[in-house]
Amino acid sequence: LFQQSFGISIKDTFKTWGALEFTNSFVGLIVILGLNLVM
């Protein structure tokens, strides 16, 4: 679905998805650590 919507290759789809997942994980970790310091 994602691939068809943007007309990109499977390889680029996985690279984009991987980058988004990494970013989400990193931001989530920072938020959790930040909350841990506050509480």
For 6-20, what is each residue's pLDDT tens digit? 777 888 888 888 999
Q: From CA 3, how far away is CA 1, in angstroms rounded?
A: 5
Residue 7: phi and psi, rounded to 5, are 65, 40
% of the chain with per-residue pLDDT over 70: 90
Q: From CA 24, how far away is CA 20, in angstroms rounded?
A: 6
Which residues make Cβ contacts (< 8 Å) with residue 10, sequence separation at least 6?
3
pTM of the entire predicted model? 0.63
> Is the Cα torsion angle 11, 4, 6, 8 positive or negative in sign?
positive
